[in-house]
């Protein structure tokens, strides 16, 4: 099995790459080669359970696609994107990366003699506007950002290429993913992550989101587990529902701060300043507060338990890298 990870030096991609190099398999399928694409180089274990090759470049470049598809690919994890705030400020770059480069990738997949499985990271941002308190898979999608619009387009392309048999497309809509290890990037997910990361590293944090704002989040481990589980399902099972929400844990900034406070034994006021940002708050307000999926839950893809569990997971990651 020849597997490609796109965005392999990013937050999700690097963790997926580490998992695959460690396991050397996806379910019962043994990896023969793992291809890791990013515009930046990444650091991976010297000893791996399969052959690992890094390719540095931009998916928008034809030479990069030529190199990746020099031999057939069996599985693609598409974890690369221009994120919400950047896509809002640089419209053309967001469109090129999130939509046009995806079309080029799908066309390379279509030209293979055997269709690859393509696992895609969609987003909670495909939903917006007036939403019910609980957002499941079948709620109408009305994105309020360019990033969310790009993800809706991608979901529909995945479904259409799959309908024709060109790929076996499968997607999870991700809530806000924590805890990004830094350095700070300014993305929405990183600003939420900083509520956990910075105090646990001994730094004060400025929260740009109102303390009582409800948000749906998921740990990076739950994301990886969800994608690996989704990859293990038979094509017949996913044919009628190729995209589903990754169930999230609903938290608030003050709830995250309280969990950190319990771990550190310090009062919240000693490490958090509240300074709401209208643009960030508008984006957060437009996203689902309670995010779930009966389909995903039926497949064994579930949410994190508590905010304290998110804190504990980050502490465990920090200790493992010490």
Catalytic center residues: 147
Given a contact cutoff of 8 angstroms between Cβ atoms, the answer to whether 80 and 9 are in contact is no
Residue 12's alpha-carbon distances to 46, 117, 193, 275, in angstroms, are: 20, 18, 13, 28
Q: How far apart are CA 271 and CA 256, in angstroms?
A: 12
Which of 165, 121, 129, 157 is CA-nearest to residue 145? 129
> What is the bridge-based pairing of β-strands 249-251 and 215-219?
antiparallel
Given a contact cutoff of 8 angstroms between Cβ atoms, the answer to whether 148 and 138 are in contact is no
Q: Which helix (H) or strand (E) holds 170?
A: strand 168-174
| Length of the chain as a residue count | 322
Strand order in the sheet with 215-219: 176-178, 215-219, 249-251
Q: How far apart are CA 154 and CA 315, in angstroms?
A: 35
SS3 135: strand
Helices (H) and strands (E) in the chain, counts: 13, 16
Residue 59's alpha-carbon distances to 102, 104, 206, 242, in angstroms, are: 8, 9, 35, 24
**Cα four-point dihedral sign 309, 314, 317, 322:** negative
């Amino acid at each position: 099995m020849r597997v490609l990870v796109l965005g392999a030096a990013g937050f999700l991609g690097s963790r997926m790459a580490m998992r695959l190099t460690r396991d050397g398999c996806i379910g019962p399928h043994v990896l023969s080669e793992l291809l890791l694409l990013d515009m930046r180089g990444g650091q991976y274990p010297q000893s791996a359970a399969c052959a690992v090759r890094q390719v540095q470049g931009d998916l928008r470049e034809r030479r990069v696609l030529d190199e990746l598809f020099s031999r057939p690919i069996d599985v693609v994890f598409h974890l690369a994107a221009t994120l919400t705030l950047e896509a809002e400020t640089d419209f053309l770059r967001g469109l090129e990366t999130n939509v046009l480069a995806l079309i080029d990738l799908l066309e390379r997949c279509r030209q293979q003699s055997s269709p690859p499985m393509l696992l895609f990271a969609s987003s909670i941002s495909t939903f917006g506007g007036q939403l019910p308190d609980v957002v499941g898979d079948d709620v109408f999608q009305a994105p309020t950002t360019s990033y969310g619009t790009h993800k809706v387009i991608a979901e529909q392309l995945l479904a259409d290429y799959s309908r024709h048999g060109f790929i076996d497309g499968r997607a999870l809509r991700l809530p806000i993913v924590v805890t990004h290890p830094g350095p700070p990037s300014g993305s929405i997910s990183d600003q939420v992550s900083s509520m956990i990361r910075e105090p646990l590293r001994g730094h004060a944090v400025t929260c740009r989101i109102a303390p009582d704002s409800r948000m749906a989040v998921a740990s990076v481990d739950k994301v990886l587990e969800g994608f690996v589980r989704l990859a293990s399902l038979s094509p017949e099972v996913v044919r009628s529902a190729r995209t589903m929400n990754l169930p999230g844990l609903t938290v608030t900034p003050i709830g995250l701060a309280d969990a950190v406070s319990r771990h550190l034994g310090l009062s919240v006021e000693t490490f958090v300043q509240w300074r709401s940002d209208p643009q960030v708050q508008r984006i957060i307000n437009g996203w689902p507060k309670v995010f779930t999926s009966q389909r995903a839950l039926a497949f064994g893809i579930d949410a994190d338990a508590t905010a304290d569990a998110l804190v504990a997971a980050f502490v465990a990651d920090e200790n493992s890298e010490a």
